[in-house]
Amino acid sequence: MPRERLSVVVTRRLPEAVETRLSELFNVRLREDDAPMTREELTAAVRDADILVPTLNDTIDAGLLARAGDKLKLIANYGAGIDHIDIATARQRGILVSNTPGVLTDDTADMTMALILAVTRRLPEGMAVMQKGDWAGWAPTAFLGGRVGGRRLGILGMGRIGQAVARRAAVFGMQVHYHNRKRVHAAIEEDLQATYWESLDQMVARMDVISINCPSTPSTFHLMNARRLKLMKPSAVIVNTSRGEVIDENALTRMIRAGEIAGAGLDVYEHGTAVNPRLRQLPNVVLLPHMGSATIEGRIEMGEKVIINIKTFADGHRPPDQVVPAML
């Protein structure tokens, strides 16, 4: 007798190639539209599924997991971040959790450099003039930005993405500095020509560009708070392609409006889609709709990791990207 295929519920639309492969391998229920599931729909999903494939928009908290049926055995997250999942409660209920680390490193690092260039070279201001048809021609003093070569880049979080940012920044002639929970190996520092700062305060005060590349944890919440933002040079800019909660968004908005910080490039926000409206009004702030991982190659690779995690679990083995206590 052939073994019954596992039931899989996917909470959002995924690239067509990923959905096709999931349908070939499993008894899968795909999302018909691209709207996030409601709480009621998520509740039904965790009751009915053997495996749930959520995204960062889905809050998988203790209350939801308490309503899960006995069938649910794996949460195969589509994404590397897991702060929207109550890992401790899942483990208590015997539910494994996996994610998709590593596949978005280059995409996110590329977007970090794009934001650095966009802010320092005032690209959105130039685009706005062109789109309005207001350009009157070249002028020696128009849209003067600054070159990135020679600037000091301070990377907050020297993991995979931070290191990828460092390599790109070096090509542009930037001086690479970093602060990390733990100092990286000397060989990595030498390869990246990166200078370690044990004191985040001291690094922040001396950098021309700050790049946020650390995960969201209780210890990184508002790591760039009002006091620390005050340490930045008035000519410095800050870029965030990691997690919005790392920066106190209201404090950042106040300081940019007051001219205490030269500008910002943000792909993530403290309160999700509820972006501070005063932040949107600032010409020296570049805002993107969480596009850091938005390449077709990256999204397909994420799906492939999800499929491997599910298939390995279905074969009776531990998913290769299982979230274990050491990762928490």
Residue type (1 letter), 302: M
- The angle at the Cα of 304, spanning 310 to 3, to the nearest 5 degrees, equals 30
Residue 220 covered by a domain? yes
Q: Say if residues 70 and 48 touch (Cβ distance below 8 Å).
A: no
At 69 the pLDDT is: 82
Residue ranges for the chain with pLDDT beneath 50:
1-2, 326-328
At 325 the pLDDT is: 59
Alpha-carbon distance values, 291 to 112, 202, 308 (Å): 10, 31, 25
Same-domain status, 92 and 241: no
Same-domain status, 204 and 248: yes
Alpha-carbon distance values, 275 to 58, 250, 261 (Å): 19, 10, 19
Residue 41 covered by a domain? yes
Same-domain status, 187 and 269: yes
Residue 317 covered by a domain? yes
Please give the Cα distance from 169 to 177 (Å, whole number): 11
Ordered DSSP codes for 122-152: THHHHHHHHHHT------TTTT-----TTPE
Residue 1 covered by a domain? no
Please give the Cα distance from 247 to 162 (Å, whole number): 17
At 204 the pLDDT is: 98
Same-domain status, 45 and 120: no
Same-domain status, 253 and 125: yes
User: For residue 203, what is the enclosing H or E element?
Assistant: helix 200-206
Same-domain status, 96 and 111: no
Total of domains in the chain: 2
Same-domain status, 88 and 212: no
Same-domain status, 234 and 312: no
Same-domain status, 137 and 239: yes
Q: Say if residues 289 and 1 touch (Cβ distance below 8 Å).
A: no
Residue 174 covered by a domain? yes
At 283 the pLDDT is: 93
Please give the Cα distance from 147 to 203 (Å, whole number): 21
Residue 2 covered by a domain? no
CB-based burial label for 247 (10 Å; 0-12, 13-18, 19+): buried
Residue 204 covered by a domain? yes
CB-based burial label for 133 (10 Å; 0-12, 13-18, 19+): exposed
Same-domain status, 250 and 306: no
Q: What angle separates helix 16-25 from helix 296-314, to the nearest 10 degrees?
A: 10
Q: Say if residues 302 and 104 touch (Cβ distance below 8 Å).
A: yes
Task: Copy the structure tokens of residue 242.
Answer: 């990691």
Residue 234 covered by a domain? yes
Same-domain status, 173 and 196: yes
How many Cα atoms within 13 Å fall on the side-chain side of residue 53? Answer: 29
Given the structure tokens 């005060």, which residue do they identify? Answer: 205
pLDDT digits 0-9 by tens, 49-95: 999 999 999 999 999 999 998 899 999 999 998 989 999 999 999 99
Q: 132 lies in which domain range?
A: 105-287
For the whole prediction, is pTM greater than 0.75?
Answer: yes
Same-domain status, 115 and 260: yes
Q: What is the CATH number of the domain that holds 75?
A: 3.40.50.720
At 1 the pLDDT is: 36
| Coil/strand/helix, residue 119 | helix
